[in-house]
Structure 1
Amino acid sequence: MKTSVLALALVMSASALAQTAKPPVAAKKPFQVTSPNGAREDDYYWLRDDTRKNPEMLAYLKAENAYADAVLAPTKPLQDTLFKEIVGRIKQDDSSVPYLKHGYHYYTRFETGADYPIVARRKGTMTAPEEILLDQSKMAAGSGFFSVGDRVVSPDDRLLAYAEDKIGRRQYVLKVKAIAGGAALPDTVPNVEPNIVWADDNKTLFYIEKDPVTLLSKRVKAHVLGAPASADRLVYEEKDDSFYMGLKRTTDDKYVCIEEESTVATEQRCTSAADPGSFQLIAPRERDHLYQADHIDDRWIIRTNRMAPNYKLMVVGDDSVGEGLAAWSDLIATSADVFIEDFKPFDGFIAVAERSGGVKRLRIVPPVGKATYVQSDEPAYAMAIATNEEPGTRWLRYTYDSLTTPQTTYEVNAQTGERRVLKVQPVPGYDAANYVTERVWSTARDGTKVPVSLVYKKGFKRDGKAALLQYAYGSYGNSMDPAFNPVVPSLLDRGMVYAIAHVRGGQEMGRKWYDDGHLLHKKNSFTDFIDVTRDLVAKGYAAKGRVAAQGGSAGGLLVGGVANMAPADYAAIYAQVPFVDVVTTMLDASIPLTTNEYDEWGNPAKKPSYDYMLSYSPYDNVAAKAYPALFVSTGLWDSQVQYYEPTKWVAKLRANATGRKPLVFRVNMEAGHGGKSGRFQRYRDTAEALAFTLTQLGVKP
């Protein structure tokens, strides 16, 4: 009784503090953003500081955090409850399914209470002695942020190269260690992408150097163990700032390849892993030609959109690879109804990941005979090719999950069809039988049918009274599959519905779905999202006035635009690291990602892109209107969406928004685009944002 009274007193005290706290007011400092299409006033441009040391700017961010603390204080008990529920669904001492490579079984495992995994292996069998490659919890000690972005074992299985980031800005440091004994080699290379490839000599490492200002992937270099980084040999330099770069070894391990990719073109060049020399082009870049190539059985298998908007697979022999596209022949034809998203070649078959009707399925294609499909019993699910490091196997390993089914790792025999369960993700206290998932279709204002994945608790009544959280992304052709999320049951158990709106801008319905949701069609993403909300309300899945929207990064742009276009449809909006200052960012080529993304958003230095982008940019369209309750987050060291975009947006919203709905801005001073590192710490942030959102929706305990 005394404890309850004390807790109530604390909540009442926190509520009083929240009511008296005043939101920070950012100073207005006139500044003109110029462009070939005219100048715009930006009173909050001063909040940008690339050094992140401006005392006035930092003081404003700290004031926002202090205000957030005050406003969110009454939700602290709910935050703690949600956090306990979420982490209670995570097995503390879990481990991954081991995969076999060169006779070693590789896996990761967590110890109870640890935020970071141990990476380990065992030789021959899983009963052999364990070799620890990386103990990431020890490596992260004392760091506010920690990430291992890539780790690669040398071909002779003796050395480990890995990429480490302790800031959160995705400027990794390449390091090397001996696996036996764990001694660190003196080799370190700063400012690299988390993408490393060994040559067969066990001493040459290929890596990608980043531009120190734009953070673009610019140069591929070769580092020889024992030599200083200053002596590293330049292998390839990308002159076009609209291209990203990546490195890989082919499935059969015979080639090291450099992949260059923009929104509208790709190019791949490869060299022998055994005797690296000049890199030979698979096909030169050509606008609107996207392809990826892999090698097995003395031939190249190529996924290409040439005369195939939904892609097809083609093949070319080693002897003909330099003869141009005319030497390629069809392997799997294109289809108007099936979008080929990915493939993995094996010695005796090809695994193809494809989309049809808005869901992804896997097809196993033998050299001769009929292809077979991996089946699902649910209307909405996520299925993906898993780690398959042994091309000589007959078994395809894949993962399957849904909004109700925890991730399950299977392997299926490509010849017999036999299927084996390797692991079901343990979720303590969770029973999938208590929940129901649905796939519904909402009609957008232009008549387009938009797929929506839904989940709710069994016994839910579609009576128009429930609260709903609706999520979407809708950019870059990234499809948001309805995968299991340990956070969601906390919503469903409180009577809520959770929805993923598969809006245009992804590729759930094929390449045209993406084409109709970017550049001068970008507004379709926003209107699709709004129309899905209105349809779900009309169908009784949610009450009008009890809908929250969630999106992050480019999905933050989506919900930021929705906040301007349809504020009355949402009680709350949760915008994570949102890309909201579209025009100003895309006018500045020094900002990371800008030049890579002209073909995603448009180049505002040109018309009509400037006018169109300006018409939906969330920051530029803030007006005197009643906005929903807003929870906005950012990381000071974010390299993808710079911290000042959401900061400026929040400052402008505070100066213009009418009404009494709260606006909370949470700034993580030690993190980047992905928020806090560590498997538990990020759920603290999630619980805080969800407690705010549920409170605004009137969701009862």
Structure 2
Amino acid sequence: MKPALCLLVASLMTSNVHAAPALTPPDAEKHPHTVKAPFGATRSDDYYWLRDDKREDAKMLAYLNAENAYTDQVVAPLKPLEDTLYKEIVARIKQDDASVPSRDRGYWYYTRFETGKDYPIQARRKGSMEAPEEILLDINTMAEGKGYFNVGDADVSQDNHLLAWTEDDVGRRQYVIRFKDLRTGEVLPDRIENVSPNVVWADDNRTLFYVENDPDTLLTVRVKKHVLGTPASSDVLVYEEKDDSFYMGVGRTRDDRFLTIELHSTVSSETRYAPAADPQAFTVLAPRARDVEYDADHFNGRWVIRTNAADAKNFKIVTAPSDATARSQWKDWVAHDDAVLIEGFELFDGFTAIAERSNGLERVRLLFPDGRQDYVKADEPAYSMGLAANSEHDTPWLRYAYTSLTTPTTTYELNTVTGERRQLKQQPVIGYDPSQYTTERVWVTARDGVKVPVSLVYRNGFKKDGTGALYQYAYGSYGMSMDPGFNQTVVSLLDRGVVYAIAHIRGGQEMGRAWYEDGKLLKKQNTFNDFVDVTRELVRQGYAAKDRVAASGGSAGGLLMGAVANQAPQDYRVMVAQVPFVDVVTTMLDASIPLTTNEYDEWGNPEQREYYDYMLKYSPYDNVSKQAYPALFVGTGLWDSQVQYWEPAKWVAKLRDDNTGHFPIVFRTNMDAGHGGKSGRFQRYHELAESYAFVLDQLGVTQGR
């Protein structure tokens, strides 16, 4: 630690602690603080002082910097391994890569990378890919001199002449809208701040609809319209959402007939629509109702709606007339199936493609006007398949993406009339040979008798003799399914003999809607039990030695890591918790923290005693105890808008107090980034290589083949 930093850190340490010697972790001051619930319950939080909404407090920043300095010391001996891992990962990337072009209104749109550059170039060509290139955005130039930069939506006007895009140079997901005249290349002076990344043009090619964020809670609260060339202060309010449990977005229907405002909470949805040619007033398609979700598109003179209404837990598809205003006008089209989750659809002139999930795996069903149906075929036992960009509806060709733990992401084009299939692109992975790796699908019986699917991959030659190392990943919240897709960074683990596993635990939606509902609210403990039970069974079956298991999760998956670290520390040698949601009760009691109110139907509202008591039983920060913890690599971003930096900071401070074990706990704060870490395709691999090196060192695995 540098002398100046030692002096700064010493000022915030407890009175009997002096400047930290080498390899001595920081010891944050304790300031008693009482957190009160509305019904009178209280909890003591000695590290509440680490919260600073403005990110300016000198003592707090000194503490984070001290933790970074300590992490630097701990991982310094691993720098050669970290550098090797980084070089391996980057060496697999085709640096001058490009996306599959997609045609829309006469132009072919694509993104491409140039060798050595972090950010993509968004471009198009008129008529064919042999036409001259028009650069829409060179994000490398836009990001120059910035520690973080991200482009959200980039939407071209209907006449193809204007571009509106959103950008964020902090990482807090508060975007700015900018405009460009594509005929001249001129960036226009119009500028709109504090918005979500979602925009859509009206047909007049002058009016843009966007969503304004609350500057404190970051909730999407208002839809406004901006007329190009006028000040943002004069933008007209179109819709304001009063219920702070709802998120909001804007869009355009498949047939370009309507603009939409889509509103959704955890358990309810509502769509409003207006003619794209004259969007003066938005009509409610069907009023919101608790426990009724739907999403809608308009095509071929009717609304097509995916919904869970009328006890369709796994969703069904209905239709409604173009002027629909109530659910009573809905007519069933694709029936509900207890064994099949409908996740989405795409509408074409001659067929409909339906994205489904059955038996824990994705599939695409093709439905034809005469009632025939077919399925897009897969070739492996564990894979991921989904609809790709299909911007045009008047074609027999369906684009879809296919991947597995051994197969790089591949974009196919399937002719739904002739059956011909064309491979448009496979993600290039330099030096990678898929024949050298094996993927498996196994089922683990959890402690309550439920069978949990697990996807595994390892390098050929692996012996299931109980001596190996395992890296187990999961998420398990919000109904987000962690499907077995290819991850080129994992190859560095596999080549060192590590088995990589994805546990498809409850709280996700891999096995249908009930799978999600069995891992939320008052059933959240199932998520943690499933993860631990998968670990124990994989060890029992010989996939790893008991003392050579790593676990990893981020965000809500970081909550998973925190809960499991408290409940089953003996089952893990090392854990990685990135941007972890670990102070559940305090955060959910504070509606001023960004996005909190949207989460009540996911975790529960702790202002109600039943949920308070249940959440308190698993909240990682509240359940740290005097016991030996596994080695921990904890990461966060100072500007994170989804999981505030102070949650992992407080958690680590408390772990330092109570950990009776001798394995290291390190805490890395990216002082320039938010929830997603560093921006740029190469920068984030530095962070990943650091955590990989830490894990491999703890597992005793450092040499590649």
TM-score class normalised by the smaller sequence: over 0.9
Equivalent runs, 1:409-428 vs 2, <5 Å: 409-428=411-430
What is residue 6 of structure 1 aligned with on the other side? none
**CA distance, structure 1, for counterparts of residue 116 and residue 470 of structure 2:** 32
AA at the equivalent of 2:382: A
The offset of 1:185, in angstroms, is 0.7
Counterparts of 2:192 and 2:348, CA distance in 1: 34
Tell me how far apart the structure 2 counterparts of residues 233 and 469 of structure 1 sit (CA, whole Å).
Answer: 52
CA distance in 2, matches of 1:364, 1:88: 39
Residue of structure 2 equivalent to 1:238: 241
CA distance in 1, matches of 2:631, 2:68: 17
Once the two structures are TM-superposed, the CA of residue 700 in structure 1 deviates from its matched residue by: 3.4
2:145 — aligned with what?
142
- Is 1:316 matched with 2:320? yes
Instruction: Kindly provide the CA deviation profile for residues 172-221 of structure 1, in whole angstroms up to 9, marking residues without a partner as x.
Output: 00000111332111110001000000000000000000001000000000
Deviations 1:553-607 (A, max 9, x none): 0000001100000000000000000000000000000001100010000000002
| Cα distance between partner residues in 2 of 1:303 and 1:417 | 27
Is 1:525–2:527 an aligned residue pair? yes
Alignment RMSD, CA only? 0.9
- 1: CA distance, partners of 2:331 / 2:370: 16
TM-score by length of structure 2 reads 0.96
Comparing 389-398 with 133-142, which one deviates more in the overlay?
Answer: 389-398
- 1:369 CA drift (Å): 3.2
Counterpart pick for 2:641 among 639, 642, 645: 639
Partners of 2:198 and 2:211 within 8 A in 1: yes
SS for the counterpart of 2:306 is: strand
Given residue 116 of structure 1, which amino acid in structure 2 is its aligned partner? Answer: Y
Rounded Cα–Cα distance in structure 2 between residues aligned with 1:252 and 1:465: 58
The within-5 A match list for 1:535-546 is 535-546=537-548
- Tell me the CA shift for residue 235 of structure 1: 0.4
Q: Which residue of 1 aligns with 2:343?
A: 341
Question: Does the 8 Å contact 1:87/1:680 carry over to 2?
Answer: yes
Segments of structure 2 that go 5 or more residues without pairing to the other structure are 1-19
Distance 1:632 1:156 in 2: 48
Matched, 1:131 2:131: no
Residue identity opposite 1:476 in structure 2:
Y
Partner of 2:104: 101
How far did residue 339 of structure 1 move? 0.5
Question: Number of paired residues?
Answer: 682
Please point out which of 433, 441, 444 is paired with 1:442. Answer: 444
Q: Find 2:628's aligned residue among 626, 629, 633.
A: 626
1:401 corresponds to which letter in structure 2? T
Structure 2 distance, partners of 1:353, 1:536, is 31
Which whole-Å CA distance do the structure 2 matches of 1:499 and 1:474 have between them?
14
Match of residue 511, structure 1, among 488, 510, 513? 513
2:607 and 2:235 map into 1 onto residues whose CA distance is: 37
Q: Which residue of 2 aligns with 1:485?
A: 487
Asked if 1:466 is matched to 2:468, the reply is: yes
Letter matched to residue 464 of structure 2: R
Residue 303 of structure 1 pairs with residue 306 of structure 2: yes
For residue 19 of structure 1, report the CA deviation from its aligned partner.
Answer: 9.4
User: Which one-letter code corresponds to 2:88 in the other structure?
Assistant: E
Name the SS of the counterpart of 1:393 in structure 2.
coil
After superposition, the C-alpha distances for 1:508-561 in whole angstroms (9 at most, x for unaligned) are 000000010000000100000000000000011111110000000000000110
Whether the 8 Å CA contact 1:19–1:71 is kept in 2: the answer is no
**For 2:523 and 2:92, how far apart are their aligned partners in 1?**
40
User: Matched residues, percent identical?
Assistant: 66
Residues 1:272 and 2:282 aligned together: no
Report the Cα distance in structure 1 between the residues aligned to 2:227 and 2:139, rounded to whole angstroms: 26
In the aligned structure 2, how far is the partner of 1:52 from the partner of 1:19? 27
Cα displacement (A) at 1:325: 1.8
Show the counterpart of 1:80.
Answer: 83
Q: Closer, same or farther in 2 for the Cα pair 1:19/1:484, shift >3 Å?
A: farther
- 1:562 equivalent in alignment to 2:548: no
Residues 4-153 of structure 1 aligned to structure 2 (within 5 Å): 20-37=22-39, 38-153=41-156
CA contact (8 A) 1:560 1:618 kept: yes
- Please name the residue that 2:16 is paired with: none
Aligned partner (choices 290, 294, 317) of residue 291 of structure 1: 294
Name which of structure 1's ranges 415-424 and 434-443 shifts more when overlaid on structure 2. 415-424
Structure 2 residue aligned with 1:8: none
Q: Which residue of 1 aligns with 2:496?
A: 494
CA shift at 1:282, angstroms?
Answer: 1.1
Partner Cα separation in structure 2 for residue 651 and residue 131 of structure 1: 52
**Aligned AA (2:169):** K
- Aligned equivalents of 1:40 and 1:669: distance in 2? 30
Contact kept, 8 Å, 1:153 with 1:160, in 2: the verdict is yes
- SS in structure 1 opposite 2:442? strand
Tell me what 1:5 maps to.
none
Q: What corresponds to 1:432 in structure 2?
A: 434
Contact 1:619 1:652 in 2 (8 A): yes
Q: Secondary structure of the equivalent of 1:620?
A: helix
Give 1:452's aligned residue: 454
Alignment correspondent of 2:13 = none
Counterpart contact for 1:163–1:173, Cα < 8 Å: yes
- 3-state SS of paired residue (1:184): coil
Question: Does residue 1:197 correspond to 2:200, yes or no?
Answer: yes
The structural deviation recorded for 1:420 is: 0.8
Look up the match of 2:554: 552
What SS does the aligned partner of 2:609 have? coil
The amino acid that maps onto 2:45 is D
- Selected match of 1:174 from 169, 173, 177: 177
Match for residue 699 of structure 1? 701
Corresponding residue for 2:159? Answer: 156
Within 2, Cα distance between the matches of 1:133 and 1:47? 43
Secondary structure of the residue aligned to 1:404 is: coil
- Bigger Cα displacement from structure 2, 98-107 vs 342-351: 342-351
Equivalent position amino acid for 1:314 in 2 = V
2:35 is matched by which residue type in structure 1?
A: V
SS of corresponding position for 2:69:
helix
Q: In the alignment, which residue of structure 1 is the partner of 2:656?
A: 654
Query: CA separation in 2, counterparts of 1:648 and 1:123?
Result: 54
Q: Secondary structure at the match of 1:196?
A: strand
Tell whether the 8 Å contact from 1:244 to 1:262 is kept in structure 2 after alignment: yes
Rounded Cα–Cα distance in structure 1 between residues aligned with 2:110 and 2:524? 41
Is it true that 1:666 corresponds to 2:658 in the alignment? no
Deviation at 1:69, TM superposition (A): 0.4
Gapped regions of structure 1 (runs ≥ 5)? 1-17
Q: Is the 8 A contact 2:624 2:658 kept in 1?
A: yes
Report if aligned partners of 1:526, 1:562 keep a CA contact under 8 Å in 2.
yes
Q: 1:429 & 1:621 partners in 2: Cα distance? A: 45
Give me the whole-angstrom Cα distance separating, in 1, the residues matched to 2:421 and 2:65: 54
SS of match in other structure, 2:198: coil
Equivalent pair of 2:81/2:702 in contact (CA under 8 Å): no
Kept after mapping to 2: 8 A contact 1:293/1:301: yes
- SS of 1:187's partner is coil
Whether contact under 8 Å (1:632, 1:665) holds in the other structure is yes
Q: 1:216 aligns with which of 196, 214, 219?
A: 219
Deviates more, 1:35-44 or 1:401-410: 35-44
Which one-letter code corresponds to 1:601 in the other structure?
W
What CA distance in whole angstroms lies between the structure 1 residues aligned with 2:66 and 2:673?
A: 18
User: Residue 12 of structure 2 corresponds to which residue in structure 1?
Assistant: none
